[in-house]
Chain A
């Protein structure tokens, strides 16, 4: 009987997986012995369900950073985790079902990674009032059981913008955004502000690959390449991307043109394809892992607080990377800006 259920579950998972574009969103029910009672903060193991955005664990970027936070919580706080990922172009209902399945399997602390989860978190959170939610990158869903983890991407982008302005020889730099959403705009605004803080006369070329609701701009490597190629040919010598998977194309264009690029979200000089790592000047690091770990820890310690929690430069939520040693000579200046932002002397615009 039990065997039959397991087989059925596996078959169903495989069928769903193929039909719903290879998603692995059915949490296997075999990992817990059918225990559905919500884990309290105390002696029992805390159960955390992670719902990733498109790409899932292993995307070398945004989702991987979130996964790192979970891994840290697993080893340091001894929590138990269950993971599921979204697929490209799935309907809204699929996201709701994913969250509900995690809850039904007993994972009553949910981390929803990515702003696309906002509507479904809003709905599922209202239906499951005893479940705690963390929603990364969005404040569009609010409730007594929702923590909104957001980052000051504009502050991190300010620093890499300043780095680009200090390093450019042509006084022309570029920005390639994946999709023109308010979130990506925040990267652009901070980047330009940082560059202008160093050199008010600098020219910044800006390009977004697609407009919402077309989100293919985050996975169109060839378009990222074409856009960056155009910028390099028109005089830019450093291009910053906030374009997810399309960023690989930006690095390729930089390599082909013998110019430089700036990575995003994680330290891409460590995570990008080995052949292009040497063109990465620095990266704007967004510590999603810090946010996720912080949420899990607060639940474990019993100080969960609903509402927005901003992880800014001061909280260590964003930073710039020094891997590769290309910005060692300007590190003092960048740290100067960093201190000024932390102290509030420089206010970085967000929109």
Chain B
């Protein structure tokens, strides 16, 4: 049984090794086609419905800021799970990071805050690694303990360190120094004018670009670089190959001389550091202060983003972006935007249904009829309502997650030895 699946992985790896340039080119091409297609649809919807916030630079910038902490937590999860350690303690490590970021930033400056967040998160990761790798504790048990411990430790430390500071209190830090932001003034103004013009496609490209050149935090850029770096290290270096082998077949890796314990330990510490940086982002960039409970479960959302990104950095970034975008639209009161999205959904369902009906031989008439009816219902809903009820807008992130998972879950594959307790010398 293990032989067959091993062969499958190997052939897949071989393909990508023998045809790297072609593979990469086709993936890039596909991504570009998707991006352009998405932009055209988005732009059409905007022009037709007049829901300008659908891709305004403000909404996109907010989406970016809301996605970054989720993405960092997910990236942390990616590192540990690729080495076979399930890290449900990301939330706790993130909370430690919020305190670390705030404390070091307040006393030693913003950049030290970034390092402090990473340090505190890494400590959480090291505890998790100690429990799961060295002592062989169940990963979930240890992770839950880290979540409780992280929240408790951060609340205690905050009360000890922030009480009595000007503007601070037991549950809140004073305002923190800002990290530098990138603004290309004249370009941002020019793009802003283009965006206001509202021309089809031009305005949409302008607003997307403007979100990147107006008040963009350097930490956001660092997050993007960390994704590239992670993809490169884990999939293009020997270190990364060995690390992933610990998550797929640790006993096989052991027989080949890989020090599995060390790799798992290092991966989990890095995982904690990244989650901590996610917390640091929340405290330093998104909020400008520490506040008890400010993570609000984002560690878990990061984990979910990683899962539906199929344990890969690209998919994870997409998942985080989806969460960030729907969150931003919701928070910006996007009742009209969510309504606008009904239009492409209706059109898509209609086309799909008609296509199923027209292809008499391979087509599925029942699916076709159902699709057309659904299209009419959604279309009528779109036509009759001026804005989505805000209750439904609030649910959008969850509905989007459910839909994506429903369509993508068939193709998800987690590292084979993920979550299993590994003991040295027990190969059988």
A→B interface (CB under 8 Å): 17-24, 54-60, 64, 87-89, 205-211, 214, 216, 219-223, 225-227, 229-231, 233-234, 245, 248-249, 252, 272-276
> If the complex has contacts A59-B171, A88-B292, A209-B331, are A21 and B287 also in contact, measured as CB distance less than 8 A?
no
Query: Which residue of A222, A227, A272, A274 is within 8 Å of B332 (Cβ)?
Result: A227
> If the complex has contacts A211-B394, A273-B175, are A233 and B287 also in contact, measured as CB distance less than 8 A?
no
> If the complex has contacts A59-B169, A219-B292, A220-B294, are A19 and B148 also in contact, measured as CB distance less than 8 A?
yes
- Would you give the shortest CB distance from B168 to chain A, in whole angstroms? 8
Contact B171 A56 (CB under 8 A): yes
Contact A273 B174 (CB under 8 A): yes
- Chain B residues positioned under 8 Å from A89 (CB to CB): 151, 293
Contact A222 B65 (CB under 8 A): yes
Chain A residue with Cβ nearest B159: A22
Contact B171 A273 (CB under 8 A): no
- Chain A residues positioned under 8 Å from B291 (CB to CB): 219, 221, 245, 248
- Would you give the shortest CB distance from A153 to chain B, in whole angstroms? 21
Q: Determine whether B66 belongs to the interface, using a CB cutoff of 8 Å to chain A.
A: yes
B→A interface (CB under 8 Å): 53, 56, 58-59, 62, 65-66, 148-149, 151-156, 158-159, 163, 166-167, 169-172, 174-175, 282, 286-289, 291-294, 296-297, 327-328, 331-333, 390-391, 394
- Chain B residues positioned under 8 Å from A272 (CB to CB): 167
Contact A216 B293 (CB under 8 A): yes
- Chain B residues positioned under 8 Å from A211 (CB to CB): 391, 394
- Chain A residues positioned under 8 Å from B292 (CB to CB): 54-55, 88, 219, 245
Main secondary structure of the interface of B (DSSP, over half): helix
- Chain B residues positioned under 8 Å from A207 (CB to CB): 331-333
- Chain B residues positioned under 8 Å from A206 (CB to CB): 333, 390
Instruction: List 27 A–B pairs whose Cβ atoms lie within 8 Å, in order of A's numbering.
Output: A21-B155, A22-B159, A24-B159, A54-B293, A55-B171, A55-B292, A56-B170, A58-B170, A59-B170, A60-B169, A87-B155, A88-B293, A214-B296, A216-B293, A220-B294, A221-B287, A222-B294, A225-B286, A226-B62, A227-B333, A230-B58, A231-B332, A234-B53, A234-B332, A234-B333, A272-B167, A274-B175
CA distance A216 to B294 in the complex (A): 7
CA distance A144 to B294 in the complex (A): 39
- Chain A residues positioned under 8 Å from B56 (CB to CB): 233
Query: Which residue of B53, B154, B163, B327 is within 8 Å of A58 (Cβ)?
Result: B163
Contact A21 B331 (CB under 8 A): no
> If the complex has contacts A21-B155, A234-B53, are A226 and B65 also in contact, measured as CB distance less than 8 A?
yes
CA distance A216 to B291 in the complex (A): 11
CA distance A233 to B153 in the complex (A): 38
CA distance A23 to B292 in the complex (A): 12
Chain A residue with Cβ nearest B174: A273
- Chain A residues positioned under 8 Å from B166 (CB to CB): 274
> If the complex has contacts A19-B152, A55-B171, A226-B332, are A219 and B62 also in contact, measured as CB distance less than 8 A?
no
Contact B287 A248 (CB under 8 A): yes
CA distance A216 to B327 in the complex (A): 14
- Would you give the shortest CB distance from B20 to chain A, in whole angstroms? 40
- Would you give the shortest CB distance from A133 to chain B, in whole angstroms? 25
Query: Which residue of B66, B172, B287 is within 8 Å of A60 (Cβ)?
Result: B172
